[in-house]
Amino acid sequence: DTGVSQDPRHKITKRGQNVTFRCDPISEHNRLYWYRQTLGQGPEFLTYFQNEAQLEKSRLLSDRFSAERPKGSFSTLEIQRTEQGDSAMYLCASSRRGYQEAFFGQGTRLTVV
């Protein structure tokens, strides 16, 4: 059990650029979640996959955001035309079928300049 892995750990990008983050969940975890956390706040839910199916998306996930989980394994979160307000820690979590505990990866810290 190697834990949830996220890549990159840090990303600095210029406003207007596109960025893509990757998450590898714990093996055998069929559920995968994306959250966003800004300073002084708790994580906010963005979207959730069960296997390859994206089952829920938050209204926070504007049309500039897209997430995929091909083949139900790793997931990617893409942000198009980044804005300064997108600067945050992007957290991925996974959980096992039949269990409610979710385990987080190390996060990707995005800074938009």
Partner 1 sequence: QKEVEQNSGPLSVPEGAIASLNCTYSDRGSQSFFWYRQYSGKSPELIMSIYSNGDKEDGRFTAQLNKASQYVSLLIRDSQPSDSATYLCAVLNFGNEKLTFGTGTRLTIIP
Residues in touch with partner 1 (CB under 8 A)? 31, 33, 35, 40-45, 48, 50, 55-56, 58, 89, 91, 100-107
Q: Which of residues 47 and 82 has its CB atom nearest to partner 1 in the complex?
A: 47
Q: Which of residues 6 and 82 has its CB atom nearest to partner 1 in the complex?
A: 6
CB-neighbour burial class of residue 105 (10 A; exposed 0-12, middle 13-18, buried 19+): buried
Nearest alpha carbon to residue 47 among 27, 29, 25, 69: 69
- Nearest distance in Å: CB 27, partner 1: 18
Q: Do the strands 103-104 and 108-112 form a parallel or antiparallel pair, or are they unpaired?
A: unpaired
- Nearest distance in Å: CB 39, partner 1: 10
